[in-house]
């Protein structure tokens, strides 16, 4: 597994930026007020030694929002509430997720040619 970071825009659920070395397409959607789903990942990066997951940050404007994550059936669901009510983030959330490793890269051999003869 490879670690990745994904930024999700609060108003639309669209993937804003994605950083990974993994081999999968990760997509995000806003499915309801305060509910976002991420597909193509393997859940949140586990907290050492291994726990439910950790690693999200929200913008300061959304700092009073509560965030819960759940990974089931290959879908990561992020639920955001504020004062007990569903809440769309004003800015975005950054999630630290796991993605499948990239397949090993094979390289073709390179033919080494002898150095050209020099004239004396």
Q: How many CA atoms lie within 13 A of 91 on its CB side?
A: 11
Work out how many domains the chain is built from and give that number: 1
Say if 20 falls within a structural domain: yes
Q: Is the pLDDT of residue 11 over 90?
A: no
Q: Count CB neighbours of 79 within 10 A.
A: 15
Please indicate whether residue 82 or residue 103 has the higher confidence score (pLDDT): 82
Q: What is the pTM of this model?
A: 0.76
Residue 81 CA to residue 67 CA, distance in Å, equals 7
List the Cα angle 52/45/82 in 5-degree steps: 65
pLDDT at 84 > cutoff 90:
yes
In this prediction, residue 52 carries a pLDDT of 59
Q: Tens digit of pLDDT for each residue in 15-32?
A: 766 666 566 788 899 999
Please indicate, yes or no, if residue 72 is contained in any of the structural domains.
yes
Does residue 38 sit within a domain? yes
Mean pLDDT over all residues of the chain?
84
Which pLDDT tens digit goes with each residue over 57-76?
898 999 899 999 999 999 99
Dmax of the chain from CA atoms? 87
Higher per-residue pLDDT: 90 or 16 = 90
Query: Is 49 domain-assigned?
Result: yes
At CB < 8 A and 24+ separation, what contacts does 48-52 make? none
Per DSSP, which regions of 24-114 are E strands? 27-32, 35-39, 56-58, 66-72, 75-82, 85-86, 92-99
Q: Spell out a b/e string for 84-96, using b for 16 or more CB atoms within 10 Å of the CB, else e.
A: eeebbbeebbbbe
Residue-range definition of the domain harbouring residue 8: 2-99
Report whether pLDDT(108) > 90: no
Residue the block writes with tokens 């020099």 = 118
């Amino acid at each position: 597994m490879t670690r990745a970071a994904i930024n999700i825009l609060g108003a639309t659920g669209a993937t804003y930026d994605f950083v990974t070395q993994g081999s999968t397409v990760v997509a995000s959607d806003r499915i309801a007020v305060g509910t976002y789903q991420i597909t193509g990942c393997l859940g949140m990066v586990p907290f050492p030694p291994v726990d439910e997951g950790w690693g999200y940050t929200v913008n300061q404007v959304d700092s009073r929002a509560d965030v819960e994550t759940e990974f089931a059936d290959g879908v990561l669901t992020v639920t955001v509430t504020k004062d007990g009510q569903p809440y769309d983030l004003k800015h975005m959330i950054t999630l630290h997720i796991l993605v499948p490793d990239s397949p090993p890269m094979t390289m073709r051999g390179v033919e080494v040619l002898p150095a050209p003869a020099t004239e004396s």
